[in-house]
């Protein structure tokens, strides 16, 4: 199961990086078009907002899997390993709950926005797409954090999840 989770988070991260690269290229073309031809890409700001939000949500599970989030351990670095492990488990569990809540609310928001027929101002794109696209990445990040909390409590090495073992 850990191997599947690694592969899935990696695939999400590659998709997120691809989206971010596409947004970067689109922004470059739009800025050049605006500066030299007075013809920017219509709706570039809308597409950038949605694209970067999507890229972040897709990359979040990989970041969590690699324990690449910022950890402020100034007060805990001198604690005994069992206590640090317990705090790490609590932090992972809290993150899992937060990401699960965000995934649920973005999915619920997508349903509400779809029922309201809300669209973006310039391009007229259905806004529910934007909300719905965030839920899978947030849900996978919640799953990764939940597995990490379990591994901390079970005293299993994180290297087994990260793929280093």
Tell me the average pLDDT across 70-99: 90
Across-strand partners of 126?
A: 119
Distance CA 53, CA 138 (A): 11
What CA–CA distances, in Å, run from 9 to 106, 148, 161? 20, 14, 11
Least confident of 1-5, 33-37, 61-65, 128-132: 1-5
Give the per-residue pLDDT at 164: 59
Tell me the average pLDDT across 106-112: 97
Mean pLDDT of the chain: 93
Inter-residue contact 28 to 35 (CB < 8 Å): no
Inter-residue contact 49 to 123 (CB < 8 Å): no
Give how far the C-alpha of residue 108 lies from the chain's centroid of Cα atoms, to the nearest Å. 18
Q: Record the tokens describing residue 39, joined without a space.
A: 């013809």
Question: Which among 136, 139, 115, 163 is positioned nearest to 19, based on CA atoms?
Answer: 136
Task: Give the orientation angle of helix 128-153 with respect to helix 44-65, to 10 degrees.
Answer: 10
Task: Kindly report, residue by residue over 27-72, the tens digit of the pLDDT.
Answer: 999 999 999 999 999 999 999 999 999 999 999 999 999 988 777 7
pLDDT band at 165 (very low <50, low <70, confident <90, very high): very low
Domain limits, the chain: 2-69+79-162
What whole-number percentage of the chain has pLDDT above 70? 99
């Amino acid at each position: 199961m850990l191997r599947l989770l690694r592969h899935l988070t990696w695939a999400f991260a590659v998709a997120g990086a691809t989206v971010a690269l596409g947004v970067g290229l689109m922004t470059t073309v739009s800025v050049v078009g605006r500066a030299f031809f007075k013809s920017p890409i219509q709706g570039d700001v809308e597409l950038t907002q949605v694209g970067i939000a999507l890229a972040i949500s897709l990359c979040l599970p990989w970041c969590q899997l690699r324990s690449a989030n910022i950890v402020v351990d100034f007060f805990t670095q001198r604690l005994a390993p069992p206590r640090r492990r317990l705090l790490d488990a609590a932090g992972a569990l809290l993150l899992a709950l937060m990401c699960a809540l965000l995934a649920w609310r973005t999915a619920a928001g997508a349903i509400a926005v779809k029922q309201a027929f809300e669209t973006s101002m310039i391009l007229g794109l259905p806004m529910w797409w934007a909300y719905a696209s965030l839920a899978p990445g947030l849900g996978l990040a919640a799953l990764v954090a939940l597995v990490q909390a379990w591994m901390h409590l079970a005293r299993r090495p994180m290297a087994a999840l990260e793929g280093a073992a």
